[in-house]
Structure 1
Amino acid sequence: MRKDHKFSKSEAIKFGLTITKRELKFFIGIFVIFILVNFAFNILAKDISQSFPFYFSIIVTIALSLVGTILQMGLIKISLNFLDNKKSQHIDLFTTHRPVFKFLTASILYGLIVFAGFILLVIPGIIWAIKFQFYSYLIVDKEMGPIEALKKSSQITKGVKLDLLVFSFLLTGINILGVLAFGIGLILTIPTTIIATAFVYRKLLSKTSGV
């Protein structure tokens, strides 16, 4: 039997902000790592494109995608660690690499589904984007396969799609405020919204039977 499937938007954002303020130095370190990795790959890609055949650029692009995916999975793992009251380290960004190909496969499927939805008069694309959005968390958190994760995301978002849409608007608004604060505010708003999203994921998952 399904339980009450609602979640508190304010509670999620408040939790995200509390963790971010408490761990602000940690998240500044995360920002620095992302900037350095991105800078290094941009320099590498530029040098290779000028000095090596075209297929080397393709290899670098693939490598960059893999690293970006690993970093994305690492961020999800870190956000879940905070929810579980576990200590996180910067190295955690790079250690959640085992399901990388599951993650990439699911991301491609998710992108195709959402793209198809937008072709069908936009609205289905928005609905499907919300419906399947937690596939990434399920792969990192529960080590599900791509199809299983997409199906489970569909299950846990049933009945709360409008709430999730409003929540996404709230998070976007928060990050816009971060941009308006000369961009520096993003150091506070991005971690807040990432952790708030993880909070909602766990809340919905806990309210779904058969987990």
Structure 2
Amino acid sequence: MKASSGSSRGGWEPREIEVGAVFSRAWELYTSNLGRVLGVHILAYILTVVASVAVFVLFFVIALAGAALLRQVDPGILIALAVAGYIIVILINSLCQLYFFLGVFSYILKLVRGEDPSFNELFSGWPYLGRMLICSLLFFVMYAVGLVFLIVPGIIIMLMFSPYPYLLIDRNLPGIEALTESRQITRGNLKVLFLISLVMGGITLVPYFTILFLNGGMNQGGGPPVLGAVLMLGFMFVLYIFLIPFSILVGGTSYAEMTNQ
């Protein structure tokens, strides 16, 4: 079955994939490009934090100036303006995070294809941002509705449409075609994608159960509070520095395998 191409990269033919092939390729890429894979995520985290701080500082300055100018205004109006401003800040910060992680997806996709991406890819997400936001909102709504109907439809929807970020970047598809094309490349691969999700879920649960076990031992033995903080920092380090990067790499590898790249 042929899938239409939305970019100049030419046509491609979806194929059925294997769990072992995906993890073997992803692990080889991960170990041979460890510094680059971790580096692009760490830089994305840093840039997201910097952008968030800048937005909050700007909001704080505007809020102070507004409070000085509107001292005689009804307090209820000031509270409403403050709440509205806070919501706007949260939305802007969410867009900043989405923007930088579009860059991460682009970087990882090029790495999977054997190209030599630079960290400038982190700033390449702007052309896709609006479409990514729309597709993500639709994906979340479909997934949530699916979960309401006995969970299983939600899982199927998640697997069926999961490659849409890579499709959007790879093919520069218009509108919501990244979602509709996802159905084409995941057809015949839902079982494999489910098994990949199970494996990744099991890997992700390891640090969760580890920290629960260690915390339980500390509570019984009356360990020092600082040890709990160290364990939590270790857990966050493993999650954000190792598990999330590897998970995104597995997603990019799955997409590349399904599209025969």
TM-score range, shorter chain: 0.7 to 0.9
Say yes or no: does 1:182 pair with 2:235.
yes
Whether the aligned pair in 2 keeps the contact of 1:130 and 1:161 (CA below 8 Å) is yes
TM-score, structure 1 normalization = 0.81
Q: Which has the larger radius of gyration?
A: 2
Deviation at 1:44, TM superposition (A): 5.6
- Output the aligned Cα RMSD: 2.8
Distance in 2 separating the partners of 1:115 and 1:72? 22
Distance in 2 separating the partners of 1:26 and 1:71? 10
Amino acid of the residue matched to residue 237 of structure 2? I
Deviation at 1:10, TM superposition (A): 2.5
The equivalent residue for 1:139 is 168
**Residue correspondences, number:** 206
**Residue 178 of structure 2 is aligned with which of 135, 145, 149?**
149
Whether the aligned pair in 2 keeps the contact of 1:20 and 1:188 (CA below 8 Å) is no
Deviation at 1:110, TM superposition (A): 1.0
Query: Which segment is superposed worse, 55-64 or 153-162?
Result: 55-64
Distance in 1 separating the partners of 2:29 and 2:145? 33
Say yes or no: does 1:200 pair with 2:229.
no
Partner-residue secondary structure (3-state), 2:127: coil
Distance in 1 separating the partners of 2:127 and 2:192? 32
Deviation at 1:184, TM superposition (A): 2.4
The equivalent residue for 2:132 is 103
Deviations for 1:136-159, whole angstroms, at most 9, x for unmatched residues? 111111111243211111111112
Amino acid of the residue matched to residue 28 of structure 2? F
The equivalent residue for 1:32 is 46
Whether the aligned pair in 2 keeps the contact of 1:76 and 1:198 (CA below 8 Å) is yes
Deviations for 1:117-169, whole angstroms, at most 9, x for unmatched residues? 11222111110111011111111111112432111111111122121122112
Query: Which segment is superposed worse, 191-200 or 167-176?
Result: 167-176
Distance in 1 separating the partners of 2:39 and 2:91? 31
Structure 1: runs of 5 or more not aligned: none
Distance in 2 separating the partners of 1:80 and 1:3? 16
Q: Percent identity?
A: 24
Whether the aligned pair in 2 keeps the contact of 1:5 and 1:160 (CA below 8 Å) is yes
**Residue 66 of structure 1 is aligned with which of 76, 92, 95?**
95
Structure 2: runs of 5 or more not aligned: 2-12, 67-80, 211-233
Whether the aligned pair in 2 keeps the contact of 1:79 and 1:195 (CA below 8 Å) is yes
Distance in 2 separating the partners of 1:107 and 1:25? 25
Say yes or no: does 1:5 pair with 2:34.
no
Deviation at 1:28, TM superposition (A): 3.5
Distance in 2 separating the partners of 1:33 and 1:21? 20
Deviation at 1:70, TM superposition (A): 0.9
**Residue 160 of structure 1 is aligned with which of 182, 186, 189?**
189
Whether the aligned pair in 1 keeps the contact of 2:22 and 2:257 (CA below 8 Å) is no
Distance in 2 separating the partners of 1:33 and 1:63? 14
The equivalent residue for 1:76 is 105
Whether the aligned pair in 2 keeps the contact of 1:127 and 1:161 (CA below 8 Å) is yes
Deviations for 1:162-191, whole angstroms, at most 9, x for unmatched residues? 211221122233334456553322312322
